């Protein structure tokens, strides 16, 4: 008598046990912080070997849609391309569109969403397309959906955690750069019987490209400047620091403004390769003779309120870093009357727009200066800033802003 064959088909209870154990295994792997690659290995082993799902492709999104797992497909699928039609699928369904290779080889799509954002798409199928019985992909669909969601969310959390660590590192570096940049600005400005100075700096980002400085040459002469490096952020701040270092070195060898500007232009051309440029207002003042000499290298013209006349200091040359040698470099010298005021600023001030897309005019700045001529420098800068805040309303600042005000007593 022949011995009957043993029924090897898994019972309902054994299938439930497989699914439960598989889910517990995935959960334990996530809790143990296994890598994304290890989670994908476990996921494939469960679907391919335990549930007998013949074909699978898993797409995940970082900066673009990428296939992070595939099995059961031939060499023609070595370079899988994400098909945009998948984005129209919001719920589990059979593939209804007929474009592309994916729609021809797979049966089921499982989309994984977070709120309204798609995180992943799983395409399932079976190798033996001639089988009459229900495919494993369809038979175990609810469980596959649960397992996929658990794993994809875990992988997404890993991405978010990695991104947060990167952001924290960048933030720490920016904070360090910000503290280092503050060291480049003068710790104090002159506030003596002959003159008073005050500066205000509002970077658009944590670090910026605006720069001001005051450097004493001897007991009666000093050089002061205001500059604006093209662009924003770290790149602009680095070039600004080079300018600060170069200026202080050059002043040890020459106090001639023309020579200094020529050398700075050479430095910028050599280092920035015409990709960055600098606008610079640089001046030298003698508190004994009351003589002010200056060069304006493509900078917003400072306003000088001298003998009750508001004039613009615009003599000089083009922006630095564009051409070498400089053309038509000009220096102007003026005698400064008592109680005169010089207000220098960067273009972040006059580029600020309001809700009507208007900008602040130089004439408005002159009026503020005239109306506050009897105030100290700090009050004048605050008055300018107050007007700017009122003018822009809810609109954001668009650039770094620096102001340097000097009152000649």
Instruction: Tell me the C-alpha distance between 215 and 149, whole Å.
Output: 64
Using pLDDT thresholds of 50, 70 and 90, give the confidence band for residue 2. Answer: very low
CA distances from 184 to 172, 181, 240, 380 (A): 19, 5, 9, 24
Same domain, 253 and 374: yes
Instruction: Tell me the C-alpha distance between 125 and 109, whole Å.
Output: 9
Instruction: Tell me the C-alpha distance between 150 and 296, whole Å.
Output: 63
- Comparing CA positions, the residue from 91, 35, 98 lying closest to residue 68 is 35
Q: Residue 7 pLDDT more than 50? A: no
Same domain, 102 and 187: no
The pLDDT value recorded for residue 12 is 59
Compare 343 and 13 and report the one with higher pLDDT: 343
Same domain, 117 and 266: no
- Comparing CA positions, the residue from 87, 122, 120, 83 lying closest to residue 103 is 83
The pLDDT value recorded for residue 134 is 54
Same domain, 67 and 121: yes
Domain presence at residue 177:
no
Q: Residue 266 pLDDT more than 80? A: yes
Same domain, 386 and 265: yes
Q: At what angle do helices 12-31 and 36-45 cross, to 10 degrees?
A: 180
Q: Are 276 and 268 spatial neighbours (Cβ–Cβ below 8 Å)?
A: yes
The pLDDT value recorded for residue 207 is 66
Using pLDDT thresholds of 50, 70 and 90, give the confidence band for residue 89. Answer: confident
Q: Residue 99 pLDDT more than 50? A: yes
Same domain, 219 and 94: no
Q: Residue 281 pLDDT more than 90? A: yes
The pLDDT value recorded for residue 1 is 44
Instruction: Tell me the C-alpha distance between 285 and 330, whole Å.
Output: 17
The pLDDT value recorded for residue 232 is 67
Highest mean pLDDT (candidates 137-151, 285-299, 382-396)? 285-299
The pLDDT value recorded for residue 259 is 95
Q: Does the pTM exceed 0.85?
A: no
Domain presence at residue 3:
no
At 93, phi and psi to the nearest 5? -160, 165
Tens digit of pLDDT for each residue in 73-84? Answer: 877 666 778 888
If one counts every other C-beta atom within 10 angstroms of the C-beta of residue 340, the result is 22
Domain presence at residue 239:
yes
Tens digit of pLDDT for each residue in 196-212? Answer: 999 998 877 666 778 89
The H or E element that residue 5 is part of is none
Same domain, 151 and 298: no
Domain presence at residue 85:
yes
| 4-13, 20-29, 207-216, 399-408: least confident range | 4-13
The pLDDT value recorded for residue 175 is 64
Q: Which domain holds residue 258?
A: 183-408
Same domain, 150 and 215: no
The pLDDT value recorded for residue 163 is 76
Q: Residue 101 pLDDT more than 80? A: no
The pLDDT value recorded for residue 81 is 82
Compare 354 and 163 and report the one with higher pLDDT: 354
Domain presence at residue 205:
yes
Per-position DSSP letters for 268-324, written without gaps between them:
HHHHHTTS--EEEEEEEEETTTTEEEEEEESPPPPEEEETTEEEE---EES-BTSSS
Average pLDDT estimate for 124-128: 68
Domain presence at residue 214:
yes
Q: What is the DSSP secondary structure assignment for residue 135, as one 8-state letter?
A: P
Beta bridge partners of 228: 210, 279
Tens digit of pLDDT for each residue in 290-330? Answer: 999 999 999 999 999 988 889 999 999 999 998 888 888 99
Structure tokens at 120: 């992943």
Q: Residue 251 pLDDT more than 70? A: yes
Q: How far is CA 364 from the centre of its chain?
A: 33
Structure tokens at 71: 């099995």
Q: Are 255 and 284 spatial neighbours (Cβ–Cβ below 8 Å)?
A: yes
Domain presence at residue 164:
no
User: Among 158, 174, 197, where does a domain finish?
Assistant: 158
- Comparing CA positions, the residue from 251, 240, 250 lying closest to residue 201 is 240
Domain presence at residue 326:
yes
Tokens 């005051």 belong to which residue?
214
**Domain CATH number, residue 261:** 3.60.40.10
Same domain, 248 and 290: yes
| 227-241, 270-284, 358-372: least confident range | 227-241
Q: What is the DSSP secondary structure assignment for residue 324, as one 8-state letter?
A: S
Q: Residue 220 pLDDT more than 80? A: yes
**Domain CATH number, residue 108:** 3.30.450.40
The pLDDT value recorded for residue 383 is 95
Q: Residue 131 pLDDT more than 80? A: no
The pLDDT value recorded for residue 4 is 46
Same domain, 116 and 210: no
Same domain, 120 and 240: no
Tens digit of pLDDT for each residue in 33-71? Answer: 899 999 999 999 999 999 888 889 999 988 889 999 999
Q: In 3-state terms, what secondary structure has residue 354?
A: coil
The total number of structural domains in the chain stands at 2
Compare 48 and 95 and report the one with higher pLDDT: 48
Same domain, 229 and 333: yes
């Amino acid at each position: 008598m022949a011995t009957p064959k043993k029924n090897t088909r898994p019972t309902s209870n054994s299938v439930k046990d497989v699914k439960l154990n598989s889910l517990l295994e995935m959960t334990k792997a996530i809790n143990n912080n296994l890598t994304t690659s290890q989670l994908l290995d476990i996921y494939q082993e469960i679907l391919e070997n335990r549930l007998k799902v013949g074909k699978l492709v898993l797409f995940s999104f970082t900066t673009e849609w990428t296939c992070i797992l595939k099995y059961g497909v031939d060499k023609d699928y070595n370079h899988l391309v994400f098909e945009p039609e998948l984005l129209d699928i919001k719920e589990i369904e059979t593939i209804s569109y007929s474009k592309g290779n994916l729609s021809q080889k797979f049966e089921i799509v499982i989309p994984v969403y977070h709120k309204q954002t798609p995180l992943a798409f799983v395409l399932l199928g079976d190798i033996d397309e001639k089988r009459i019985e229900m495919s494993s992909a369809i038979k175990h669909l609810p469980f596959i959906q649960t397992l996929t969601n658990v794993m994809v969310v875990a992988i997404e959390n890993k991405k978010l955690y990695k991104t947060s660590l990167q952001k924290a590192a960048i933030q720490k570096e920016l904070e360090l750069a910000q503290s280092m940049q503050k060291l480049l600005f003068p710790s104090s400005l002159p506030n003596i019987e002959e003159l008073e100075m005050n500066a205000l700096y509002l970077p658009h980002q944590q670090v910026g490209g605006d720069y001001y400085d005051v450097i004493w040459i001897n007991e009666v002469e000093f050089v002061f400047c205001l500059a604006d490096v093209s662009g924003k952020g770290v790149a602009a701040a680095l070039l600004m620091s080079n300018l600060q270092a170069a200026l202080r070195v050059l002043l040890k060898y020459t106090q001639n403004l023309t020579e200094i500007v020529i050398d700075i232009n050479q430095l910028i051309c050599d280092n920035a390769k015409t990709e960055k440029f600098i606008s610079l207002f640089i001046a030298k003042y003698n508190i004994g003779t009351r003589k002010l000499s200056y060069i304006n290298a493509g900078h917003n013209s400072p306003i000088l309120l001298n003998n009750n006349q508001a004039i613009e200091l615009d003599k000089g040359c083009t922006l630095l870093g564009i051409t070498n040698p400089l053309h038509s470099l000009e220096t102007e010298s003026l005698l400064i009357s008592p109680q005169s005021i010089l207000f220098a600023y960067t273009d972040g001030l006059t580029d600020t727009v309001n809700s009507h897309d208007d900008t602040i005019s130089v004439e408005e700045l002159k009026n503020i200066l005239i109306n506050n001529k009897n105030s100290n420098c700090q009050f004048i800068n605050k008055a300018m800033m107050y007007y700017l805040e009122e003018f822009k309303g809810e609109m954001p600042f668009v650039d770094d802003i620096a102001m340097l005000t000097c009152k000649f007593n």
